[in-house]
Structure 1
Amino acid sequence: MKILITGAKGFVGKNLIVTLERLEDLEIYQFDIDTDPALLDTYTKDCEFVFHLAGVNRPQNVEEFMEGNFGFTSDLLNSLKNNHNTCPILITSSIQADLDNPYGKSKKAGEDLLFSYGQETGAKVLVYRLPNVFGKWCRPNYNSAVATFCHNIAHDLPIKVNDPNVVMNLVYIDDVVEELIRALNCNETREGDFCIVPIVHTIKLGEIVELIYSFKNSRSELSIPNMADAFTKKLYATYLSYLPEDRFSYPLKMNVDNRGSFSEMIRTPERGQVSVNISKPGITKGNHWHHTKNEKFLVVSGRGVIRFRKVGSDKVIEYHVSGEKLEVVDIPTGYTHNIENLGDSDMVTIMWANECFDPEKPDTYFLEV
Structure 2
Amino acid sequence: MRLALTGGDGFLGWHVRVLARALGWPAPVRLTRADLADPDAAAARLAGADRLLHLAGVNRGDPADVAAGNVELAAALVRAIRRCAAPPATVVYANSVQAGNGTPYGDSKAMAAVTLAAARPDLVDLRLPNLYGEHGRPHYNSVVATFCRQLADDAPLEVRQDRELDLVHVTDAAAALVDAPPGSPWDGTMPPLRIGVRDLAERLTAYASTYRRGEIPPLTDRHGVRLFNTYRSHRFPADHPIRLPRRADHRGELVEAVKAHGGGGQTFCSTTRPGVTRGEHFHLAKVERFCVLRGSAEIGLRRVGHDEVVRFAVTGDDPVAVDMPTMWAHDIVNTGSDELLTLFWTNEVFDPDAPDTWPEPVGRPALLAGVGAP
For normalisation by structure 1, the TM-score amounts to 0.64
Shift of 1:258: 2.5
| Distance in 2, Cα, partners of 1:207 & 1:270 | 19
| Distance in 2, Cα, partners of 1:237 & 1:29 | 28
| Distance in 1, Cα, partners of 2:24 & 2:245 | 48
Report whether the alignment pairs 1:240 with 2:232.
yes
Shift of 1:301: 5.8
Query: SS of the counterpart of 1:93?
Result: strand
| Distance in 1, Cα, partners of 2:110 & 2:98 | 8
Report whether the alignment pairs 1:167 with 2:169.
no
Structure 1: runs of 5 or more not aligned: 188-195, 276-299, 303-347, 353-369
1:143 is matched with: 141
1:17 is matched with: 17
Shift of 1:180: 2.2
| Distance in 2, Cα, partners of 1:47 & 1:268 | 45
Once the two structures are overlaid, the 10-residue window that deviates more, 218-227 or 255-264, is 218-227
| Distance in 2, Cα, partners of 1:89 & 1:203 | 32
Q: CA 1:29–1:156 in structure 2 vs 1: closer, same or farther (change >3 Å)?
A: same
The 8 Å contact of residues 132 and 141 in structure 2, kept in 1 or not, is answered as no
Paired letter, 1:19: L
2:59 is matched with: 57
Shift of 1:141: 1.8
Q: CA 1:6–1:260 in structure 2 vs 1: closer, same or farther (change >3 Å)?
A: same
The 8 Å contact of residues 17 and 27 in structure 2, kept in 1 or not, is answered as no
The 8 Å contact of residues 166 and 192 in structure 2, kept in 1 or not, is answered as yes
Report whether the alignment pairs 1:178 with 2:144.
no
Report whether the alignment pairs 1:110 with 2:109.
no
> 1:217-366 maps to which residues of 2 (within 5 A)?
217-220=209-212, 223-268=215-260, 270-271=262-263
Q: CA 1:262–1:272 in structure 2 vs 1: closer, same or farther (change >3 Å)?
A: farther
Shift of 1:33: 3.1
Percent identity among equivalent residues?
26
Report whether the alignment pairs 1:87 with 2:89.
yes
Paired letter, 1:69: N
Q: CA 1:86–1:135 in structure 2 vs 1: closer, same or farther (change >3 Å)?
A: closer
Q: CA 1:265–1:273 in structure 2 vs 1: closer, same or farther (change >3 Å)?
A: farther
Report whether the alignment pairs 1:76 with 2:77.
yes
Shift of 1:55: 0.4
The 8 Å contact of residues 65 and 106 in structure 1, kept in 2 or not, is answered as yes
Q: CA 1:223–1:25 in structure 2 vs 1: closer, same or farther (change >3 Å)?
A: closer
1:97 is matched with: 99
Q: CA 1:163–1:36 in structure 2 vs 1: closer, same or farther (change >3 Å)?
A: closer
The 8 Å contact of residues 266 and 273 in structure 1, kept in 2 or not, is answered as no
Query: SS of the counterpart of 1:47?
Result: coil
2:130 is matched with: 132
Q: CA 1:25–1:144 in structure 2 vs 1: closer, same or farther (change >3 Å)?
A: closer
Paired letter, 1:177: A
Report whether the alignment pairs 1:4 with 2:4.
yes
The 8 Å contact of residues 8 and 14 in structure 2, kept in 1 or not, is answered as yes
| Distance in 1, Cα, partners of 2:127 & 2:77 | 19
Render the CA deviation track for 1:58-94: whole Å, top value 9, x for unaligned.
Answer: 13x2222233211110111122113353631001011
1:211 is matched with: 203
Paired letter, 1:176: A
RMSD, matched Cα: 3.4
| Distance in 2, Cα, partners of 1:176 & 1:6 | 16
Paired letter, 1:140: P
Q: Tell me: higher relative CO, structure 1 or 2? Use CA pairs within 8 A at least 6 residues apart.
A: 2
Report whether the alignment pairs 1:152 with 2:144.
no
Q: CA 1:220–1:78 in structure 2 vs 1: closer, same or farther (change >3 Å)?
A: closer
Q: CA 1:182–1:2 in structure 2 vs 1: closer, same or farther (change >3 Å)?
A: closer
The 8 Å contact of residues 225 and 232 in structure 1, kept in 2 or not, is answered as no
Shift of 1:221: 5.0
| Distance in 1, Cα, partners of 2:47 & 2:209 | 53
Structure of higher CA gyration radius: 1
Q: CA 1:130–1:272 in structure 2 vs 1: closer, same or farther (change >3 Å)?
A: closer
The 8 Å contact of residues 245 and 255 in structure 2, kept in 1 or not, is answered as yes
| Distance in 2, Cα, partners of 1:208 & 1:174 | 19
Q: CA 1:83–1:178 in structure 2 vs 1: closer, same or farther (change >3 Å)?
A: closer
Paired letter, 2:14: K
Shift of 1:217: 1.2
Q: CA 1:81–1:156 in structure 2 vs 1: closer, same or farther (change >3 Å)?
A: same
Shift of 1:103: 0.5
Paired letter, 2:105: Y
Paired letter, 1:104: G
Shift of 1:242: 0.6
The 8 Å contact of residues 52 and 88 in structure 2, kept in 1 or not, is answered as no
Shift of 1:35: 4.6
Query: SS of the counterpart of 1:97?
Result: coil
